[in-house]
Copies of this chain bind each other. A is one copy, B any other.
Amino acid sequence: MDDDFDAALRQRYRVLDFFVSGEPLPAFLAGAAALPDPPRAAVVMGGAAARVDAALLDAVPSLGFVFSTGAGVDHIDLAECARRGVAVANSGTVYSTDVADHAVGMIIDVLRRVSAAERFVRSGLWPAQGDYPLGTKLGGKRVGIIGLGNIGSLIAKRLEAFGCIIHYNSRRPRDSVPYKYFFNVHDLALESDVLVVACALNKDTRHIVNKDVLEALGKDGIIINIGRGANVDEAELIRALKEGRIAGAGLDVFENEPKVPAELFSMDNVVMTSHVAVFTSESRSDLWDTTIGSLEAFFSGKPLLRQVLPW
């Protein structure tokens, strides 16, 4: 945890810190619940060290509020929280522009081979080997966005400035956008050169990019994942990359991160970052403000600005 945030939090509240406790989670929760004044709110850090489920809520029944610092809420059982009257809020759109910027950077990187050319220059090969192979133009590319929420919309807005044609899939078509809607991801992939995963992870979107979708994207297509690792069937993705059935990938998230399949390390048409799309120093500072604002709203009985509901 950030020192400034830690100080700001402790100035306002009594804080029980799992990360400094050194205890296993069950012992930490049991200790908290046994206090004469057990905790009423939980702040769950982005990396999802803990799942907020029936077991956790049973362990600390005094909880009335859960704030998640992450953008996704796939580690929180929203229905179970709702059933027990536990309010849930998250960081809302604090991260959205950072994720969108990173997604666009990865698209340019994969198409124009920036990181690959970087390795080429850095290893001193330029004088000996001459020109690096050409990349591909961004303008005119059809970009299919899976999930046109806040992040997806910001990606679309940025790519319009590069002359891209935007298509999308989401639970339902949006009236307010001029982009072409596809009812399913397979058809979206068929008409896309670049496929961007920008949806939340839930049971409907797990492996939403599967073998069939990769097949539909085709050998000139690239895939960008700034959603969750499990949105993509990683084994199938690696197979498609190996066999040249898709052209490349930009991945900020992985199914078993921080473990990254070693087969990807030798691929020059893949750009990988360590789940950093969501975060800059600026957004972290905004996040701490949002977290404290949410706790203050909860403890004073005011409306929660970024409440997450199970429906």
Contacts and interface: CB of A to CB of B under 8 A. Distances in A.
- Residue from the set A127, A157, A259 with the largest chain B CB neighbour count within 10 Å: A127
- Residue from the set A135, A161, A257 with the largest chain B CB neighbour count within 10 Å: A135
Nearest to A251: B121
Interface size range of chain A in the complex: 35 or more
A303 interface: no
B102 A134 contact: no
A30 to B, nearest CB: 27
Number of copies: 2
A142 interface: no
A105 B115 CA distance: 10
19 contacts: A97-B138, A101-B139, A105-B112, A106-B114, A108-B108, A114-B114, A117-B272, A117-B276, A118-B271, A120-B274, A121-B272, A131-B274, A132-B273, A134-B276, A134-B284, A135-B279, A137-B283, A157-B161, A160-B161
Interface of A: 97-98, 101-102, 104-106, 108-109, 111-115, 117-118, 120-124, 126-127, 130-132, 134-140, 157-158, 160-163, 257-260, 262, 265, 271-274, 276, 279-284
